[in-house]
Structure 1
Amino acid sequence: MTEHPKDLAKIPVTVITGFLGAGKTTLIRHLMQNPQGKRLAILVNEFGTVGVDGDILKSCADDNCPVENIVELANGCICCTVADDFIPTIEALMAMPVRPDHILIETSGLALPKPLLKAFDWPAIRSRITVDGVIALADAEAVAAGRFAPDVAAVDAQRAADPSLDHETPLAEVFEDQILCADLILLSKADLAGEAGLQAARALISAELTRPVPMLAMTEGVIDPRVILGLNAGAEDDLAARPSHHDGDDDHEHDDFDTIVIDLPEVTDPESLAAAIRTLADAQRILRVKGHVAVTGKPMRMLVQAVGARVRMQFDRPWGSAPRRSQLVVIAEHADIDPAAIRKVLGA
């Protein structure tokens, strides 16, 4: 049988990286709704075992990106499980009866993109796939406030005012590695940052870059898909231009972070739950909370997403025949997480 030229062409892959809560899933939902005539496949890497992001994306599946084209990897950070999880998953996507035209990879918020790029040189896939581009999302409001943009002088000034501040936090290194690997940086939450915040975020990120990288503002994941898809960066062949704090390291440790899953009873007052999450952000330094909860008397499932003290809740779809199960994933730095205290505050 003669192979069609399309079957011989490399499948482009877009790697979407960014810190916890930067808006990666929201961006992918927008791309799914505006695929530019492409049949998409999506690989979602969660940090933890409960696939909240994958579930959100599967609820948006359609003919351009059917449910079977949305694959979740929850066995660990994608940059640490390349051989066991990533390579076999990519091979399975390429072997589907109808090949995808473009693959989107949503990394976990803690993933380093460069080890993932190196995986595209594996013999099993290097002639069949290419990295169209690495898109790094940065929460403009957070960056403008000086979080995860380690200007040493500024951090030292903050240290003088707050002796507990540690500018060697691994979160800063993760953030730097993500933006240094990017072909395009999207400043998310632009509406919350405002023009002054966007300018501050651009300046802080530009100070860390070692090469020119375009930066665009974005709100609610809305941006022209033509800007994202079709960069033709061939990023797997351009590793030297993408420095990493972990160059030369054999391992990328995540021992600094912990994830716990909290099962809750039905929620009678969503605002009380939001207040409890904000309390956790202040008292327990919780980085991220996400999940779904059942609200008493409501047939719709409530999606909960929080970044620090910023909490968003919305009803996303009916429970239908699915069990009305309230479950939240909580992510924090290892030194700060106290499961018993978290469960108590959330009323678990």
Structure 2
Amino acid sequence: MEEGFLFKDVFNPNLVARMGQRINAVSSEFDEDSFYKDIVPKLPPLSLSERSNLIFETLFTYLPDEYNKAINILLSSFDPLSKTCEMTGFEGFYFMPIAKYVSTYGLEEKDFELSMKALIEITKRFTSEDAIRPFIRKYPKQTFEYLYKWTADENVNVRRLVSEETRPRLPWSSVLREFIDDPKPVLNLLDELKQDTELYVRRSVANNLNDIAKDHPQLVLKALKRWKTINDKGTQWIISHASRTLLKQGLPEALDLLGYPSDVKISVDNLILNKEECKMGEEIEFSFNLVSKASKEQNLMIDFVVHYMKANGKTAPKVFKLSKKKLPAEGKLSLKKKLSFKAITTRKYYQGLHEIEIQVNGKRYSKLEFKLKK
């Protein structure tokens, strides 16, 4: 990668030239020179998504007006399939504006079958997880018929698409509100993928379940309990990875499912902060002891909760993972952790009283407060 490379630079003059050449090779009427000149001078100030939009809008200008003719030309211009499973590098972004073309101009009912064909061919080379969401909204029944068929596709990227595209809150995509309200159709699809041989697919299944658990914890828990009886390592991995939100919520059934009993017998002693005040940009360190009150070994999932001061003057809790430990009978563990208040893009800090609280197997124990200052 060249020094000074920006993410938006995946859409560059070389990519535009290559696209024009490939399309012209299968359709001599496509004016590749004008296509290039209409795009390249406009690229520099544009963001990644703006560059992609410029390309797909210009494609519409130079391709035939009839959608079926245009898509068949684009499909004929595609490169051979990659031999790798997971998408790596930036080469696949070539197909991002083409996916946008399909989701924008291929939504008429008469074009549905052709659009599904195009999105799958794109998926085999890049992804259509965002582009297919308008079809889910407009044609839920027809699209789900395809999704069920794709759960058994030989191409790993197609199988992953089934899970990734139905995530209620897919990053960088619009929310599928219908699946937040009722995730049962998605859960039925994920059930078909729970024993997939590829981690790439199973990771997506787990992330989808974790999304659903934020709104419907009991539904996800019910599915995971059923899957727990399956003698398959991949499925058991999904259960563990999909339970992140359930465990942070401290649900006793989820903890018990993963072998962290909610009736743990411990005490949290000697919780100490290394200072009572912390400045923005600094770190604060806390330490504590876990002491067993049981006559047998116990599995512990140890978290800590930071009660952050918010703009309204009230605190809001955020759970962080700390460690998984085995505590011997009548044994003791000493732990410590640093908490940073260095500026990050995902969280804004406010001065005032904060609290740190220890959580073990879903139960909260000792708590200390400290002041965050500018």
Same fold (TM > 0.5): no
The higher radius of gyration belongs to 2
Structure in which a larger fraction of residues adopt helix: 2
TM-score, L = length of structure 1: 0.24
Q: Which has the higher contact order (CA 8 A, sep 6+)?
A: 1
Structure in which a larger fraction of residues adopt strand: 1
TM-score, L = length of structure 2: 0.22
